[in-house]
Amino acid sequence: MAFDLILKGGRVIDPSQKLDRIADVAFAGGKVAKIGAFGAGDASDIRDVSGRIVVPGLIDLHTHVYWGGTSLGIDAEDFCRKSGVTTCVDTGSAGPGNFAGFRKHVIEPSQVRILAYLHVSFAGIYAFSKTVMVGESEEMRLMAPAEAVAVADANRDVIVGIKVRVGRHASGTSGAAPLDIALQAANEVGLPLMCHIDFPPPSYEEVVARLRPGDVLTHAFRPFPNTPVDPQGRVKDVVREARARGVLFDIGHGKGSFAFKTARGMLANGFYPDTISSDVHALCIDGPAFDQVTTLSKFLCMGMPLNDVIAATTVNAAMALKRPELGSLKPGSVGDVTVLSVQEGKFDYVDVVGEHLTGDKRIVSEGVVIAGRWWHPEGGYKS
Ligand SMILES: [Zn+2]
């Protein structure tokens, strides 16, 4: 047998190759081997996915999956089954003081790929629940740039950047100071920074002006205050300037960070997010974020073309991570694939301020391949 697994007859959309056509995808040795047309004798495992959409395994650039170690963590494998995500990027659940447990107890045993931005605050996001909410960036004694550099440097196989949260909720009276410390750590270790914003201070303008090419602003399409558009619907100059110099704009939906109004303003200006992510955690997995396919569906229903939506959760996310072997179906890429369908009908969506949108489409996860093996659902599409 030439291959281990073949997905047969799907519509293959791979924005990394500007590919959108009916084809078979073959896997060998845990990687994508070839896209083409194959026969019954070419693999021991052949799945007929005709009528479905085959895309590179979805990357959710903003999740919280330190299950059990942090109160906001959700289970990455459960989430993957629901949402078709094959790479969960955890953003700052752990800091240098508790990353070892995240690695040993969650990342290493997980069948789903988990990468992480390491929080510059010593214990990451340690007090985030319905009843106890303490911003980990407010107490400056918790800022641990030297420790973060050491842990990030020792775990470069899974740590992709430094995370910081600033805003009234996350950094309180410390304002933007934790961002400046996190930037020092990111510079020192030579990795990108992902920065969270919430209510001012600091302002959107102050934050985005500090970010370097390749850094990621998450919660970029949040509701007022701290939005990227002005009341006249113009994208703020500082936002355009930041994109021009290579700053990346990520959605990070979550429970407080995505508004249809902001997204409409941005899309009307042709300003698509670089990456779409769910910011799924314990307090938003039952709504309003739910999962990655729901977050993607919102953009599809607001008029962003399907191929651009797929790019924002595959190749664009891989570029933000500097992991070109992810988010692509080029031969030699990791053998991760998500099988999707787009249902037509009337679907209710809600944002974080309670605005409802009736959409005419819904993206549904139908199956997952991880490392060249059919992973979910059990027995799915087996011929
Ligand atoms: Zn988050």
What was the pLDDT predicted at 279?
97
Residue 290 gets the label, from left (phi > 0), alpha (psi -120 to 50) or beta, of: left
User: If you measure from the C-alpha of residue 255 to the centroid of ligand 1, how many angstroms do you get, rounded to a whole number?
Assistant: 9
Is residue 21 predicted with pLDDT exceeding 80? yes
For the stretch 131-175, pLDDT in tens is: 999 999 999 999 999 999 999 999 999 999 999 999 999 999 999
User: If you measure from the C-alpha of residue 342 to the centroid of ligand 1, how many angstroms do you get, rounded to a whole number?
Assistant: 27
pLDDT band with cut points at 50, 70 and 90 for residue 1: confident
| All residues at 6 or more sequence positions from 254 whose CB lies less than 8 Å from its CB, including other chains | 62, 219, 278, 279, 280, 281, 284, 289, 352
User: If you measure from the C-alpha of residue 271 to the centroid of ligand 1, how many angstroms do you get, rounded to a whole number?
Assistant: 22
- CA–CA–CA angle 151, 155, 157 (5° rounding): 160
Q: What is the mean pLDDT of residues 202-222?
A: 98
Which amino acid, one-letter code, is at 265? G
For the stretch 90-104, pLDDT in tens is: 999 999 999 999 999
Q: What is the mean pLDDT of residues 249-254?
A: 98
User: If you measure from the C-alpha of residue 126 to the centroid of ligand 1, how many angstroms do you get, rounded to a whole number?
Assistant: 12
What was the pLDDT predicted at 319?
98
User: If you measure from the C-alpha of residue 62 to the centroid of ligand 1, how many angstroms do you get, rounded to a whole number?
Assistant: 6
**For the chain, what percent of residues have pLDDT higher than 70?**
100
User: If you measure from the C-alpha of residue 191 to the centroid of ligand 1, how many angstroms do you get, rounded to a whole number?
Assistant: 19
| All residues at 6 or more sequence positions from 163 whose CB lies less than 8 Å from its CB, including other chains | 91, 92, 117, 118, 119, 120, 182, 193, 194, 195, 196
For the stretch 63-90, pLDDT in tens is: 999 999 999 999 999 999 999 999 999 9
**Residue 77 CA: distances (Å) to CA of 81, 82, 217:** 6, 9, 26
Q: What is the mean pLDDT of residues 300-309?
A: 98
Q: Is the pTM of this model over 0.75?
A: yes
User: If you measure from the C-alpha of residue 9 to the centroid of ligand 1, how many angstroms do you get, rounded to a whole number?
Assistant: 37
Q: What is the mean pLDDT of the chain?
A: 97
What was the pLDDT predicted at 90?
98
User: If you measure from the C-alpha of residue 158 to the centroid of ligand 1, how many angstroms do you get, rounded to a whole number?
Assistant: 18
> Tokens 């895309």, residue?
55
- CA–CA–CA angle 192, 294, 275 (5° rounding): 20
What was the pLDDT predicted at 304?
98
- CA–CA–CA angle 375, 373, 99 (5° rounding): 70
Comparing CA positions, the residue from 340, 25, 366 lying closest to residue 376 is: 366
User: If you measure from the C-alpha of residue 91 to the centroid of ligand 1, how many angstroms do you get, rounded to a whole number?
Assistant: 6
What was the pLDDT predicted at 135?
93
User: If you measure from the C-alpha of residue 327 to the centroid of ligand 1, how many angstroms do you get, rounded to a whole number?
Assistant: 21
